[in-house]
Amino acid sequence: MKYKSQKVAYWAFALSMLLIILQITYGFIQAFAHLGYDGLHEWIPFNTSMAVHKNLLVVWILSGFMGAAYYIIPDESDNELYKPILAYIQLGALAVVGVIAVVGFHFNWWEGRKFLEIPRELDFLVVVDVLLFLFVILMTLWKGKQRTTTAMILSVGLLAAALLYLPGMIWFDNHALDSFFRWWVVHLWVEGVWELIMGGILAYLLIKLTGVDREVIEKWLYVIVGLTFLSGILGTGHHYYFTGAPSYWLIVGGIFSALEPLAFMGMALFAINMYNKGEKRHPNKVAVKWTLGTAIVSFAGAGLLGLAHTIPQVNLYTHGTFVTAMHGHLAFWGAYGMIVFAIITYVMPNVTGRKIYNNALGNYAFWISLIGMLGMVTAFGAMGVAQVTLERRLGLDFMTVQQELHSHFWVLVITASIFTTGILLYVWNFMKYGLPTDEAIGMEDEFKTI
Amino acid sequence: MLSKKQALLFFLGGTLLFSIIFIVMSIDTVSRGIPAHTHEENMTAQVIHGRVLWDENNCMGCHTLMGEGAYYAPELTKVYDRLGPDVMKAILTSKVPWAPNGRKMVAYGFSNEDAEGLIAFLKWTGEIDLNGYPATPPLKNKLK
């Protein structure tokens, strides 16, 4: 690393590691409940495990993005982070709010709104926390010696993500209106501004890992984020097909959702091309794997598996079934989980000074988690198709069909165990790096042989 | 070949154009479309009371409504037509978990007033124009 303050990133990443393990734990509780093993029902009913599973996902990914920004922005703007103490306070507060929210979910303290279950009172603390984060990042940029495209795209993405949280805080008496604006947050995050953040991190990693000229990488970054918004904004319409909104969303949502894979395809081709152009001499090969992996898997999960059910004629039957879970898992893992793992893998040797990149543990973690997740997605896909056929096409009763899905859930549990093994190996490797140290300042040059 | 400046213009221009279209469509949906589709005039105080309870108890953490939520428990958009108010009231006021085929629902033990609010809310959702959702199972008749 170049600057002492970049060490903050480590703590954000450590929080992500802790939370992903908790998220997975609650995922297992859910899978077993589906299989009829609901011994925890008294203390952790299904809606609690669901709220925890989804919110921890959002928080660990946001924490990963924050860590990425705390590392990237000082480097790109050639400047120490503005008042690093504020960054530590902000991360600590995020962890505290997260813990309070998760505990609250066990005591019926929440809002019944998928992905945005954090109760309104805590929402205000989230807003203050994110404002503090943005203050540190934007002041660092402002005081910096340079403002690169990569840093700007990343910061605009983070700022827009914060602003888009606000429509989700308005109360509507009409449930359909509430649903309408809930997607302004959730969709415009994951299929909009989060992609800016992902694109910014991806561009940074490609610049560092391939050695390709910054101007070339940043030019294509504009094209890709342009494609994202071109398709993604009106693509929001695929959430409005059957939720009380006018039928014109079926046409507009259908057409623009069909274009959404283009942005992800652009991202995948971009990463592969830059890698091919590059010199391939950077020693952190595992970081290269995660970087190319996120670009390719997000195309498969967010792009193609999304397209598989956003066609309105298909969605009429798949809406509200496990087909959605199939898409959701690979999309979140490919696009956002893997980009966070990519930046962590790149940053760890730089902040700790330990050169244990490209070790067996790191490689196994990548492949085992990827294979496990592909297996999970296959299990979700199979159970989704079975559910759609039996319940939606043949009209069998909900619970009758659920019991027919048990074999698929066992496959899910097995493949999720493989995935978890990969994640645990990754976390173990993370711990082996040890704590960040000032001695690592300036060692980055030693690591980059290109 | 595309220059970096052209790429920036593509990004800014496209984002601006499609944001404007999205906002115009959203204004129409919010001001005219959703109120008409949901028959907003039927949203009585009782319906809104049910809507608050729906939210406070995170019902969509297990069920889907308008296809949105979790896939642990049945879709409830048309539950009023399917079960009728008496069965719904029995489930909502029960002090022991309702567990069809062994899958447990939290025993909320709602008061009469709360249960009636939720039933009114779910009756109201059943009347929303959802563009054909949930579809009638197309193969149901072929089974016989």
* ipTM of predicted assembly, 2 dp: 0.96
CA-nearest of B128, B73, B16 to A391 is B73
CATH assignment at residue B62: 1.10.760.10
The amino acid occupying position A222 is Y
| Cα B85 to Cα A52: distance, rounded to the nearest angstrom | 32
Option in B40, B61, B139 nearest A112 (CB): B61
Q: Does B39 touch chain A (CB under 8 A)?
A: no
| Overall number of domains in chain B | 2
Question: Do B59 and B29 fall within a single domain?
Answer: no
Q: Is the pLDDT of residue A248 over 70?
A: yes
What pLDDT is attached to residue A6? 96
What pLDDT is attached to residue A50? 97
What pLDDT is attached to residue A450? 44
For residue B124, tell me if it sits in a domain: yes
Q: Which two tokens stand for residue A331?
A: 């999309």
Confidence of residue A362 (pLDDT cuts 50, 70, 90): very high
| Cα A337 to Cα A41: distance, rounded to the nearest angstrom | 29
Question: Do B14 and B47 fall within a single domain?
Answer: no
Q: Does B14 touch chain A (CB under 8 A)?
A: yes
Cβ pair B66, A242 in contact under 8 A:
yes
For residue B141, tell me if it sits in a domain: no
Percentage with pLDDT > 90 across chain B: 93
For residue B74, tell me if it sits in a domain: yes
Question: Do B63 and B88 fall within a single domain?
Answer: yes
pLDDT in tens, B77-94: 999 999 999 999 999 999
Question: Do B54 and B2 fall within a single domain?
Answer: no
Question: Do B29 and B52 fall within a single domain?
Answer: no
What pLDDT is attached to residue A446? 57
Domain containing residue B2: 1-33
pLDDT in tens, A19-60: 999 999 999 999 999 999 999 999 999 999 999 999 999 999
Q: Half-sphere exposure of residue B143, counting CA atoms within 13 Å on the CB side?
A: 12
Q: Is the pLDDT of residue A190 over 60?
A: yes
Cβ pair A199, A224 in contact under 8 A:
yes
What pLDDT is attached to residue A445? 64
Question: Do B64 and B115 fall within a single domain?
Answer: yes
Question: Do B49 and B15 fall within a single domain?
Answer: no
| Cα A275 to Cα A271: distance, rounded to the nearest angstrom | 6
Tokens 């979790």 correspond to: B70
**How many Cβ atoms are within 10 Å of A445's Cβ, its own excluded?**
8
Question: Do B49 and B18 fall within a single domain?
Answer: no
Question: Do B77 and B22 fall within a single domain?
Answer: no
Query: Which range has the worst mean pLDDT, A18-27, A112-121, B57-66, B115-124?
Result: A112-121
For residue B89, tell me if it sits in a domain: yes
Confidence of residue B142 (pLDDT cuts 50, 70, 90): confident
A194-210 and A149-163 helices cross at what angle (nearest 10)? 160
Q: Which helix (H) or strand (E) holds B69?
A: strand B68-69
| Cα A164 to Cα A185: distance, rounded to the nearest angstrom | 5
For residue B136, tell me if it sits in a domain: no
Which residues 74-103 on chain B approach chain A with CB closer than 8 angstroms? 74-75, 97, 100-103
For residue B3, tell me if it sits in a domain: yes
Q: How many residues does chain B have?
A: 144
Question: Do B71 and B98 fall within a single domain?
Answer: yes
Mean pLDDT for all residues in chain A: 94
Q: How many residues does chain A have?
A: 450
For residue B62, tell me if it sits in a domain: yes
Confidence of residue A447 (pLDDT cuts 50, 70, 90): low
Contacts of B55 in chain A (CB under 8 A): 111-113, 178
Q: Does B18 touch chain A (CB under 8 A)?
A: yes
What pLDDT is attached to residue B1? 78
Cβ pair A30, A107 in contact under 8 A:
no
Cβ pair A380, A405 in contact under 8 A:
no
What pLDDT is attached to residue A327? 97
Question: Do B46 and B64 fall within a single domain?
Answer: yes
Q: Is the pLDDT of residue B101 over 90?
A: no
pLDDT in tens, B10-67: 999 999 999 999 999 999 999 999 999 999 999 999 999 999 999 999 999 999 999 9
Contacts of A395 in chain B (CB under 8 A): 136-137, 139-140
Interface test with A, best of B3, B27, B60, B83 (most A CBs within 10 A): B60
| Cα B30 to Cα B26: distance, rounded to the nearest angstrom | 6
Strand partners, B64: B69, B75
Question: Do B79 and B107 fall within a single domain?
Answer: yes
Q: Which two tokens stand for residue A119?
A: 């109760």
